[in-house]
Every structure is written in structure tokens, then in C-alpha cells.
């Protein structure tokens, strides 16, 4: 087992001693460790922030400091001021932090929003995208900034020195060449990045918490784009559906009813884990954890992004009951709390997360009685044990599933997600029914003559289903996935 540390160096806590010193005086040696700017004033003489950038947690990205009479930048919470990477002592301190943990034996880092560390030093106003608010997304000026790869090169030297692993969290990156500069093997920057395109797929036009729509072909197109690009250009993918900032994949991507929860969980595992790249499985994903209950009241939510959005909605549209109901539905679908409920260890009180007389920091998902780690480990047909099977298959057929190319099959279908992985003359098909109905798939019309060998099936043993996939018409049960040599 290897240990990765979470390296959060775009910002710190406002309780960090660096920031306490920084805000104590404009003359303090730590003043330039953070991004401080004087106020602007409108024609009426009213104080305004330095620009119109919006915080990722709602409202202005600037906070007024009464003591030193300037604003500081916080792209996230007001309690999370952004570090100023233009200031050399900041970079030196980050490098020392990395070496400290690597010397302790850490094997590498997950780097939080690492592509925000280089910002356009003009700090211009962002173009108006949402006319309903003065605060606009300034990612054009702080994501993938002008000195980003200079900074990455410095990080990469340390990582290479320790033969350490790195995966960078990089929102707002759709430029393939920008990604390649970060992860191409001979660039010596990062090993891989977390791309955000597929986890923004259900966002509204202006707002994460507005209703958004997507089709299966959208999701397939995202994966095809990055699978083929990385393979052709000596890059590497980080594969994920869930993390601490995202809702649960059974709800978000499969949109499965409770009846097919297990089948959907296994199907998603198949589709994700057999692609090219490194699979990341988030806590609870391997046991089929779902989103928080639709019945949750607002006082159950802890997600700052969600709560700030709700309070702003109540302030600006207090009587718009339809908007309130719509927002509540979207919170249940997209709140970060979905990935943060206590881990469901057992059917004991509080899901075994803490003692029966204690209260967890947030409510446990009430379905823990049925879906918990203890029950899943014991059940040979559970999602947990299926994950073990699919990862075992990936390891057994390493040439195909690690080093093989990727080709999308049945591209235009809104019901089937299928792709092949091929290494030299070895070729495997990964085929999934993305619906709750039984489908018939014509393998011949999609360039697959027959299954030479079934390797894995989400319902039954590979041996017991091989006859079903021996012809050209393949019947697929709800959310059924099959992996076969073709």
C-alpha cells in the first residue's frame, strides 16, 4: 500500500499563522504571501472589490479587511485566502512542505486545484456571462495562468527526485494541449490530472444548482476525447466518477431506481475501471452508497456551497416558492454532502461510524442498514465483491486494459455504452446497457462478430452466460454489463 497526501497550496486557512501575520499590517513580512488589493470606488463613492470575480462558494471572491483597509482574494470560502505564488518565499515554503512529507515516507500527492496557483497579475474584470449578478466567473484569468508550467516544472523536479506520484485537480481545463503540457511523460510535471468536464455535465447554464440536462452520448464523447488523446500523445488519464466534492454515481450517471441499485453500481464499475488510465474509487462507491434522502430538510445540509446558495436565494427571491423547490431538488442531486455522509461500516447505530451515544458531524444516510461494508464484504454478489472482480480482471489482462488503445462502439446510442480495448492482436469488448429495460444489441452491425470468451458479467458467472453472447443478437438485462474477448 502507498500513501498519498492531499496537498492544498492554492490557499490556506485564515487561521494559518502566515495569514494572521499577513493581515496584521501592510508592512508585515508576510503581507505579500497573499493576494491583497485596494478597493475600487464607483461614481457614487461606494467601495467596491478589486474586480468582479465570483467565489466558488457564491458571492464576491474578495473580502474586505477592516484592519488594513484592503481586500484579500478567496476563490473559495472567506476563511480560505489565496496564496500569492508570484512571491518567491511562498513557492519556497510549498517546496519545503513537499519535501517534509516525502521525507516522512509519503509516496506522493493529490494536489488541490493546483492549476489556480498562477493568476493573471492584471486581475481584470471577467466577461459577463450571467447578467443576473455582478459576480462573474474569472477562471479565464486564474485557471492555467501564465506561469503555471514554470511552477509545475519546479514541483516536478522534487517529485522526480523522490520518485513520487502526483495527480493534480484541474478545473476549467478543456484545452487538450494545456493538459498535455501538464502530464506528458517527458515534461516531468505531473503524472495525471482530474478533469472536470464530466462532473459538470448536469450543471445549469449559469449555476451548478440550476437544472441541467445531458445525454449518454455526451458522457461517451467526453471519455472518447480524453481516452484517445492521451493514448496518442503519451499522456495518462485519472479515471473517476466520485470524490468528496461530487454526488454519488448511481444517482448522477445511472439515475437508477432502488430496484436496480446493485446492477447499476456494478455496471458503472465496469465502464470506469476498464478504461485507459488509473481508476480512483471513492469511499462508499465500492458499496453502492447513494445520494442523501430527498426528504432531507435544509438544516441537514452542511455543504457551504449549497447553504450559501440557499441563503442568497432566500434573500433575493424570498417569495419565489417554485425557485425554492427547484433548488431543493438540485441540492439533493448535486450537494457535496452526498459524498460526505459518514462511511457506512455496518448496520449498527450510526452505521458503525461512531458509537450509539455519539452524534456524527452530519446525519448518516438511513439506507446504511442494508448497504454497508460489513454486509457487502460477506455477500459474494455485492457491488464490493464485483469491484474486486473487475479490478482483478484489469490486472490479469494488463496488456489489454492498461496498455491497449480505446475505441468507442455504437457511438450514437443513447442506451448502450460500449468500447473496445486492443493491444496488438488481443481485443476486448466492454458493453453496458445504460437503462432499466431489457435490450437486444446487434453485435454484427457494430463490428463484433461474436464473443470468443466471456471474461466478466454483472449478473452471473462468465461461464454461465457465454452461450448468450455466442451469436450476433445479444440480450442485455437492465444495467447489465459484459466483458468479452472478441
Q: Which residues are part of the catalytic machinery?
A: 112, 169
Can you tell me the distance from the alpha carbon of 480 to that of 474, in angstroms, rounded to the nearest whole number? 11
Q: In this structure, what C-alpha cell is assigned to residue 103?
A: 521525507
SS3 content of the chain, % helix, strand, coil (to 5): 40, 15, 45
Whether 440 and 485 have beta carbons less than 8 Å apart is answered as: no
- Number of CB atoms found within 10 A of residue 345's CB: 16
Which DSSP string corresponds to 174-225? --HHHHHHHH-GGG-S-SEEE--GGGGTT--SS-TTS-----HHHHHHHHHH
H/E element holding 36?
A: strand 36-37
Cβ-proximal residues to 241 (8 Å cutoff; 6+ apart), any chain: 249, 252, 253, 268, 272, 282, 285
Whether 372 and 344 have beta carbons less than 8 Å apart is answered as: yes
Can you tell me the distance from the alpha carbon of 123 to that of 141, in angstroms, rounded to the nearest whole number? 7
Residue whose C-alpha is closest to residue 84's, from 150, 25, 35: 35
Residue whose C-alpha is closest to residue 145's, from 85, 83, 82: 85
Whether 227 and 276 have beta carbons less than 8 Å apart is answered as: yes
Mapping DSSP to helix (H, G, I), strand (E, B) and coil, where does residue 107 land? coil
Amino acid at each position: 500500500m502507498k500513501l498519498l497526501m492531499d496537498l492544498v497550496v492554492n490557499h490556506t486557512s485564515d487561521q494559518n499563522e502566515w495569514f494572521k501575520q499577513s493581515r496584521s499590517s501592510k508592512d508585515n513580512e508576510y503581507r505579500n504571501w497573499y493576494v491583497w488589493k485596494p478597493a475600487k470606488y464607483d461614481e457614487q463613492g461606494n467601495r467596491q472589490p478589486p474586480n468582479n470575480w465570483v467565489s466558488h462558494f457564491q458571492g464576491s471572491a474578495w473580502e474586505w479587511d477592516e484592519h488594513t483597509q484592503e481586500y484579500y482574494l478567496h476563490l473559495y470560502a472567506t476563511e480560505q485566502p489565496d496564496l500569492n505564488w508570484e512571491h518567491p518565499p511562498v513557492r519556497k515554503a510549498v517546496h519545503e512542505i513537499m519535501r517534509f512529507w516525502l521525507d516522512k515516507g509519503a509516496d506522493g500527492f493529490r494536489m488541490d486545484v493546483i492549476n489556480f496557483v498562477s493568476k493573471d497579475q492584471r486581475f481584470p474584470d471577467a466577461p459577463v456571462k450571467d447578467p443576473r449578478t455582478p459576480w462573474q466567473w474569472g477562471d479565464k484569468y486564474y485557471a492555467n495562468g501564465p506561469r503555471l508550467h514554470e511552477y509545475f516544472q519546479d514541483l516536478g523536479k522534487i517529485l522526480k527526485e523522490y520518485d513520487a506520484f502526483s495527480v493534480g485537480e484541474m478545473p476549467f481545463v478543456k484545452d487538450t494541449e494545456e493538459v498535455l503540457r501538464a502530464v506528458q511523460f517527458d515534461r516531468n510535471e505531473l503524472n495525471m490530472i482530474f478533469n472536470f468536464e464530466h462532473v459538470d455535465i448536469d450543471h445549469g447554464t449559469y449555476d451548478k444548482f440550476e437544472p441541467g440536462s445531458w445525454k449518454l452520448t455526451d458522457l461517451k464523447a467526453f471519455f472518447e476525447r480524453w481516452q484517445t488523446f492521451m493514448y496518442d500523445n503519451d499522456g495518462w488519464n485519472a479515471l473517476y466518477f466520485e470524490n468528496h466534492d461530487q454526488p454519488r454515481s448511481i444517482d448522477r450517471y445511472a439515475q437508477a431506481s432502488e430496484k436496480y441499485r446493485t446492477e447499476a453500481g456494478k455496471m458503472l464499475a465496469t465502464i470506469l475501471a476498464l478504461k485507459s488510465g488509473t481508476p480512483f474509487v471513492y469511499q462508499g462507491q465500492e458499496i453502492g452508497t447513494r445520494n442523501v434522502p430527498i426528504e432531507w430538510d435544509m438544516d441537514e445540509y452542511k455543504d457551504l456551497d449549497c447553504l450559501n446558495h440557499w441563503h442568497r436565494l432566500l434573500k433575493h427571491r424570498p417569495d419565489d416558492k417554485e425557485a425554492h423547490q427547484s433548488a431543493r431538488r438540485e441540492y439533493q442531486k448535486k450537494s457535496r454532502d452526498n459524498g460526505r455522509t459518514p462511511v457506512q461500516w455496518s448496520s449498527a447505530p450510526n452505521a458503525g461510524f461512531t458509537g450509539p451515544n455519539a452524534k456524527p458531524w452530519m446525519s448518516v444516510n438511513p439506507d446504511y442498514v442494508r448497504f454497508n461494508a460489513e454486509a457487502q464484504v460477506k455477500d459474494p454478489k455485492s457491488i464490493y465483491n464485483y469491484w474486486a472482480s473487475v479490478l482483478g480482471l484489469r490486472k490479469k489482462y494488463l496488456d489489454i486494459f492498461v496498455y491497449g488503445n480505446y475505441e468507442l462502439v455504437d457511438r450514437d446510442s443513447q442506451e448502450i455504452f460500449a468500447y473496445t480495448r486492443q493491444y496488438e492482436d488481443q481485443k476486448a469488448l466492454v458493453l453496458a446497457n445504460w437503462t432499466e429495460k431489457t435490450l437486444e444489441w446487434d453485435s454484427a452491425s457494430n463490428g463484433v462478430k461474436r464473443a470468443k470468451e466471456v471474461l466478466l458479467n454483472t449478473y452471473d458467472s462468465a461461464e454461465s452466460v457465454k452461450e448468450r453472447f455466442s451469436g450476433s443478437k445479444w440480450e442485455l438485462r437492465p444495467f447489465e454489463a459484459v466483458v468479452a474477448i472478441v
